[in-house]
């Protein structure tokens, strides 16, 4: 499960602002944000179990990020969803061509949301829907359902992002991602995982013994193409493991 809130503002001095949490089992091995040796233009974390990633940046203003779709009844996937982000960031195909391929192969993966973009366009594809959509300017929230599905954590984080957009700074974006408050029972969605799990997953920042927010990432893109990305890593019960900053 993950959470991404982002502001897409073409023509603005800072056209893309992203704040994202990657939620995963702590036992799943991964590497923090870094330059990829085999693709030096890619900066992202890495899932060591399947080799993909959840969010990153690449050459020519490329950006991609992923969330899963929460559905305990979906069949096992044949391919890891993290490769969807990795392939886009490390490749050079146009967004249209890439998304055509993703749409045609979407049944190979468990349910997912995919964001892909460059300096001029930002697209969203939900694997439960039939086509990718080019996003108009706006402030958006994405968790483990559709874009802007009004789950409490999505609404809270999106509002918090809107409040810092006048002067977005990485530390302010990371702070809004650290909210551990769970939602009231009456506001919880019913995604088939039971009340206790719904409650655990309802906070912006998730912490428990075995599962929680593994990485919080802030990305600020400038109009001249320069980018700042800061990632904080966490362990069980939200223990802080480190922070990485990349400027490219």
- Residue-wise DSSP of the chain: -EEEEEEE-TTSSS-EEEEEEEEEETTS-EEEEEEETTEEEEEEEEETTTS--SEEE-GGG-EEEEEE---TTSPPPSS-THHHHHHHHH----HHHHHHHHHHHGGGSSSEEEEEE-SS-EEEEETTSSS-EEPPSEEEEESSSSTT---HHHHHHHHHHHHHTTS--HHHHHHHTT--PPPPGGG----SS-HHHHHHHTSSS---SSEEEEEEEEEEE-TTS-EEEEEEEE-GGG-EEEEEEEE-
Cα separation, 148 vs 123, in Å, equals: 14
Strand partners, 97: none
Mean pLDDT over residues 5-13, rounded? 97
Cα separation, 214 vs 205, in Å, equals: 9
pLDDT band at 75 (very low <50, low <70, confident <90, very high): confident
Mean pLDDT over residues 165-182, rounded? 97
Looking at residue 169, what is its pLDDT? 96
Domains held by the chain: number:
1
Is-contact 248 231, C-beta < 8 A?
no
Mean pLDDT over residues 42-52, rounded? 95
**pLDDT surpassing 90 at residue 55:** yes
Q: What is the CATH number of the domain that holds 140?
A: 3.60.60.10
What would the pLDDT profile of 121-145 be if each residue is shown by its tens digit?
999 999 998 789 999 999 999 999 9
pLDDT band at 100 (very low <50, low <70, confident <90, very high): very high
Mean pLDDT of the chain: 95
Looking at residue 1, what is its pLDDT? 57
pTM: 0.95
Domain hosting 64: range is 2-247
Looking at residue 78, what is its pLDDT? 77
Mean pLDDT over residues 76-104, rounded? 93
């Amino acid at each position: 499960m993950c959470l991404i809130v982002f502001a897409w503002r073409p023509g603005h001095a800072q056209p893309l602002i992203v704040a994202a949490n990657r939620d995963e089992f702590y036992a799943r091995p991964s590497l923090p944000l870094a330059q990829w040796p085999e693709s030096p233009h890619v900066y992202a974390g890495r899932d060591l179990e399947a080799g993909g990633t959840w969010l990153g940046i690449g050459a020519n203003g490329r950006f991609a990020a992923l969330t899963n779709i929460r559905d305990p009844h979906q069949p096992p996937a044949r391919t890891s969803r993290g490769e969807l982000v990795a392939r886009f960031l490390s490749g050079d195909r146009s967004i249209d061509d890439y998304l055509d391929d993703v749409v045609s192969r979407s049944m190979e993966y468990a349910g997912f949301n995919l964001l892909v973009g460059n300096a001029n366009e930002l697209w969203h594809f939900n694997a439960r829907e039939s086509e990718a959509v080019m996003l108009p300017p706006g402030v958006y929230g994405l968790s483990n359902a559709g874009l802007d599905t009004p789950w409490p954590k999505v609404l809270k984080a999106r509002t918090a992002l809107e409040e810092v957009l006048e002067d977005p700074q990485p530390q302010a974006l990371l702070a809004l991602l650290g909210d551990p408050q769970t939602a009231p029972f009456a506001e919880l969605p019913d995604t088939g995982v039971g009340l206790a799990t719904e409650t655990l997953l309802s906070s912006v920042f998730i912490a428990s013994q075995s599962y929680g927010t593994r990485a919080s990432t802030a990305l600020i893109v400038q109009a001249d193409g320069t980018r700042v990305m800061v990632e904080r890593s966490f362990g069980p019960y939200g223990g802080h493991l480190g922070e990485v900053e990349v400027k490219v």
